[in-house]
Every structure is written in structure tokens, then in C-alpha cells.
Chains A and B, each alone.
Chain A
Amino acid sequence: MDVFSPKERLLRVLKNEAVERPPVICPGGMMNAAIVDIMNTTGHTLPAAHHSYDLMSELACDVHQNTGFENFGIPFCMTIEAEVLGSNINFGTLECEPKIDKEKYQSVLEVDFLPVSAIEKHSRVGAVVETIHKLSKQCPDIPAIGSLTGPLSTAASLVDPMIFLKQLRKERDGAHRVLDYVSQHLIAYARLMIEQGASVISIADPTATGEILGPKLFEEYAVPYLNQVIDEIHKLGVPVIVHICGEVGMVKTQLNMLRGNAISVDAFVNLKKMKEENDKLTTMGNLSTYLLEFGEAQKVYQSAKHLLQDKIDIIAPACGLSTSTPLINIKAFTQAITEGKDG
């Protein structure tokens, strides 16, 4: 029998306190579990649910109830931050997640600095924070996780990424100014989420990978701004999960500089080994989303059991889920974690 509520369990793990079993979660944002199977059954569908508070809260609830993930994960995309700051968004379809249609700027030197209040005035931010408010009141035992797009990824959604990446070397001051600006907005957004009841903030920063940046630029640009956002969230008493995409071998030293409460990584990263190398690390992950989509439910179940055996602290998908992932596989995944030990 479960000793802790899902919220207590997740918060305890993030505080390094003992729990009877790891939580199994899917934090939203990049890791969005609003799959086609669920939407077609309930009729609460994307892309409409990206805009409407009613639909967003219904869909977040559907996802939690149908999948067995022990949280609410909001929002269902990574585009709100860039939209607030000026980029055009294509909201996609039922199957296809929203994306940046066109980055607003061609150089870090062109960026218009909007006041921080731009965040709270935006309608989609409103939908997100109202959803968090409603769900955290309605189901106080289930943690509402607010998902943010990380500073580098948001900046690379404002400025054409091919130019932006070069400017990390050529226009250092300008690049730092934009990252600081973006970080201030992310902090304001996180604060709104927390004021409305978010228990945990999750930051995914897919542009901030060792593979794209290399260790030097990762240390110069990814670490300080992620930490800046993390520190401000900590001041509000809320823990932070950071997801880093791609192979992390070459930025191991830098990952240890991050001050988040848990680190989530891709499928091919050996989490067990990461734990052995740094026993203070709280690990999250990393069931292959490829397996989740194309594998047999039985195989998914076994892989989830492996994560349990490896004593991964928080069990979650390794990356963004495909919207065509079969529900039966996700159920097998969560069931492997939540069922009794003899299961």
C-alpha cells in the first residue's frame, strides 16, 4: 500500500528524503503526455486546449487519470515563452505539437526588451496558471508541475538558432544580455505558476546540450542562466527538475554545477552509472520514448522494472513522447512502478 500521497512522495524525493517507491511522472512541456488515444476518447483536444483554460484543465486531468502518471503536467508545449516575447507560433494539430513558425529576430542585437509584466498579460500564460490553480485546489494530493522552456532554448526560439549559436562566440555581450532578459521572464512566469499552486517547476532546455554547445559554451551560457532561474524558484520554496537532452558525457562536470533538485536525461544515458559517480545526484528518467511508441507493452513493463531495480529516484519518459504512443504502453509503464512489490 502507498504510504505517501503522490505529491508528498515527489516532494520528499526532491528533498532527498526516503520514500517507499519512486514516483512515476511526466512533467508536461517538452514531456507532454496528451496522446491521441486519450484525446480521441475524451474529446478534450489539442490544439484548442493550448488556448482555453477549461480545455487545458480537462485535458491535464484526462492525462493524469488515463496514463497513471502521478502528476499534472502543464502546459502541453514549449512555445508560450517565445510567443510572449514576440515569435510567431504555429499551433499544430491534434497529433502535432506547436512550433515556432518564425523566430522574430535575426540577431541578438535586434531583440526588443519587453517589460517583465508582458508575461502576466499574455492569454496563454493566463490559461496555464488558471489551470494550475484549479487542479492544485481540486486535487491537493497530486503535484501540479509547471513546465518551463529553458533560457537557451527560449533565446534560440526568439533569434534564428543558426545565427544565435554563432553569436554565442561572436557577440558574447549581446548573447548574455538576451539570455539574462529571457531568464527574467522565465522567473516571472515560474513565480505566477507557484503563486497559483505549482508544487514543482520542471525546466527543459533542448538547445542547451553538450552535443550542440560543447563543454565550454555549456558552462558559459547554459549553467549560469539555468542556475539564475533555479535560485529564484528556490527562494519561493519550490524544487526544480532540469531536463538535459542528448549525450551528457562531455558536460558531466558542468551538470554537477547545476543547482536543480533532480536531473532528467535522455534514454541512452546510463542513469545507474551517473548515480554511482555522484551519489548526491537525484536522477530522473529515462524510459525510451521509442520503446514506448513502438515496443510491446510487456517489454515496456520490463524496462520500467529495470529502472526500479537501478534505483532511479524519479521514473519518467526519457524525452518528448510521440502523440501516437499507445495508451496501453504508457499504462504498462506506470503500472510497473505503482503496483505492489510482488506485482
Chain B
Amino acid sequence: MSVEKEKLYSKLSDAVVDMDEDSVAVLSDQVIKEDIDAYEAIDQGLAKGMERAGQLFEEEEYFVPELLMCSDAMNVGIDILKPHIRKEESSQKHKIVIGVIEGDTHDIGKNLVKLMLSSADFEVIDLGRDVPVNTFVNRAVEEQAKIIMISSLMTTTMDRMGDVVQLLKEKGIREQYKVAIGGGPVSLAFANKIGADGYSANATEAVRLAKQLVVKES
């Protein structure tokens, strides 16, 4: 890779970490003007920056507001670069269905997981918040997603995550899906108890978990 290109990617990455939407826009325009590979610029510039932001989040340097602003900055760049990606480069992405379980409208955690997964090149189908048990299963089937991620921020709603696993079993399709859960009151012990395939404590861990589940799947 040329030094120039490398420099530009690392500037893009820095601009995301610095939550600097304006710089991201200027740098992304430069990528296009200089006819640099848009996919590579997203992957090694923007996504790399988001990964670094995720690390800072894990290290408790960044918190939710900062992570959201980094994500906004990344999306400014993606919006500019995406139309310039050459077709053959956009590989088949793994699909994940994600949502907050019925009764619960706290979606900060889910949204963080979603944005980290998207920046790690998963295709995320967001069912939103207050999602009925049925919807998780039906949409996973429709979308041919292999992973279902469910979040709950309340002890009053966490039981229903087990109902999703149960419904998959009743339909005789449990083995076709990996179910991962997360959220404030949830723990690994609880994940095991309801028969889920995985648990993650935060958004960056969720990306590692999704990658593991995909490997197990294929």
C-alpha cells in the first residue's frame, strides 16, 4: 500500500476517534477525488477508527455519548464513500437480527451493539425496541439470519428472552440459529439458564461474540 494512501486511512481513522464529522467529510471527498479504493478506505480508515473508539469505550476513556458521536462521524464517511464501492468487493455479509425484548424500551445498549456490529461488517437487521417474541423468530426466518441478538435492560422483561429460545425449539428450528443476549441485568449464568448460545457484557464484546458464533456456524 502506498504511503499516501496509508496516511489518508489513518487520518480518517483519527477523525472518527476525534468525533470530527467535518474532517471525515473532507477526507472522504479526498478519497474519491484521488480515486482511492472506497471499500478499503471504509475498512481500513473509518471502521478502524470505530474499532479504536470501541477500545477506548472498553477502557472507560470513552462513554456512550462519545461512542455515538464517533459513530455519527463514521456514518458521514460511509454515506460519501458507499456509492463508490465497486460491486465485486461487497462480499456476502453475515446477517444478524437484533432487538430489545417486549416490554422494554431501553435501547441504548442495543443501539451501541448494532453500530459496532455494522462497523465490523455484519449486516444488522434492527427490529427496534419492545419487540414481541414472535417477531424475533419470524424475522430471523424471513431474513435468513443466522444470529438473533436480544437485549433487555430490565429484570422485569428478561424472562421473555428465554421465550425466544423456547419458540425456536417449538418450531423445531432451534439448531439453525444462534441466540445471543445482553443487557444490564443479564449475565452469562442467565444466558446458560435460558439456553442461549452466548452472552456479551458490552458492545465491543458483542462483536467478538458474533464472530465466534459465525465461525461455529460455518
Contact = CB atoms under 8 A, between A and B. Distances in A.
A161 interface: yes
B159 interface: yes
Contacts of B158: 322
Nearest to B63: A214
A170 B156 contact: no
Contacts of A170: 69
Contacts of A289: 155, 185
Given A96-B103, A213-B63, A250-B60, A321 B69 contact: no
A169 B184 contact: no
Nearest to B109: A212
Nearest to B68: A166
Given A162-B108, A169-B65, A319 B72 contact: no
Contacts of B155: 289-290, 293, 319-322
A169 B69 CA distance: 9
B111 interface: yes
A97 B72 CA distance: 32
Interface residues of B, number: 28
A155 B60 CA distance: 24
B156 A165 contact: no
B105 A166 contact: no
Given A96-B157, A320-B155, A166 B185 contact: no
B60 to A, nearest CB: 6
Name the residue in B68, B111, B185 with the highest tally of chain A Cβ atoms < 10 Å from its Cβ: B185
A161 B100 CA distance: 15
B64 A213 contact: yes
Chain B interface secondary structure, helix, strand, loop or mixed? loop
Interface string B97-137: 00000111101100100000000000000000010000000
Instruction: Give the contact-size bracket for chain A.
Output: 20 to 34
Contacts of A321: 155-156
B190 interface: yes
A94 to B, nearest CB: 12
A169 B65 CA distance: 7
A245 B69 contact: no
B43 interface: no
B185 to A, nearest CB: 7
B39 interface: no
A226 B68 CA distance: 25
Contacts of B64: 165, 211-213
A168 B65 contact: yes
Contacts of B37: none
Interface string B57-97: 00010111110110010000000000000000000000000
Contacts of A111: none
Contacts of B72: 166
Contacts of B62: 214
A293 B103 CA distance: 17
A17 B63 CA distance: 39
A162 B111 contact: yes
B209 interface: no
A19 B108 CA distance: 41
Contacts of A320: 154-156
Given A97-B156, A99-B105, A165 B65 contact: yes
Interface in A206-234: 211-214, 217
Given A211-B63, A246-B184, A319-B185, A96 B68 contact: no
A323 interface: yes
Nearest to B64: A212
A324 interface: yes
B185 A290 contact: yes
Contact of A323 (B19, B66, B156, B187): B156
A165 B159 contact: no
A8 B24 CA distance: 61
Interface of A: 90, 92, 95-97, 99-101, 161-162, 165-166, 168-170, 211-214, 217, 245-246, 250, 289-290, 293, 319-324
Closest 10 pairs between A and B when the two form their complex, measured CB to CB: A214-B63, A96-B103, A99-B105, A165-B65, A322-B156, A212-B64, A322-B155, A289-B155, A166-B68, A169-B65
Given A162-B68, A170-B69, A217-B63, 11 more contacts: A92-B103, A95-B103, A95-B156, A99-B104, A99-B105, A165-B65, A165-B108, A166-B69, A217-B65, A290-B187, A321-B155
25 contacts: A92-B103, A95-B103, A96-B156, A96-B157, A97-B103, A99-B130, A165-B64, A168-B65, A169-B19, A169-B65, A169-B66, A170-B69, A211-B64, A212-B64, A213-B65, A214-B62, A250-B60, A289-B185, A290-B155, A290-B190, A293-B155, A319-B185, A320-B156, A321-B155, A324-B156
